[in-house]
Structure 1
């Protein structure tokens, strides 16, 4: 296996984990924001129910539990990718020690 390939794989995995974490975090915010809006609407304040209903029907609320699981999966993916990068670095160090 080429060391450069291992570095690239680790970096690519880390970037994928970051993107997954950002998406999961955005889903969590969307889920909690829409839940808070619904609870505020039922608290007795006057709201335009036509607009509220239109927003509620046009947006799909992400599942909060699934978003939290996705965030945890992204965390483990980032940790695994960091280990790949560390292993490639150790291998490169060992090769340099052997050839020097």
Structure 2
């Protein structure tokens, strides 16, 4: 059994979970802020809002439900990766105790 690879696998899992959580958080923000933009009636703001609305109509907004599910998946992935690291650490401690 190779302990460093188990620890590295756990660390890679944590990094992947963080990336997934970051993307899910960005998707949640994008899907909630685009529909709640304040609407001002000045001439400059109407022109800017029209440009923003045109850009938003062409770009597909992320699905809020899927983003929340992805955030929960990232949470469980982080927990599992933490358990992998703990198990590798315990195994390493046991091996050191046996050989000492």
CA distance in 2, matches of 1:19, 1:89: 24
Q: How many residues align?
A: 95
The alignment's C-alpha RMSD in Å is: 1.3
Structure 1 regions of 5+ residues with no counterpart?
none
TM-score (normalizing by structure 2): 0.88
Tell me the residue number matched to 1:83. Answer: 83
Matches within 5 A, 1:1-100: 1-37=1-37, 40-41=38-39, 45-46=40-41, 47-48=46-47, 50-100=50-100
1:28 counterpart SS class: helix
Q: Give the alignment's TM-score, normalised by structure 1.
A: 0.88
| Distance across 2 between alignment mates of 1:90 and 1:63 | 41
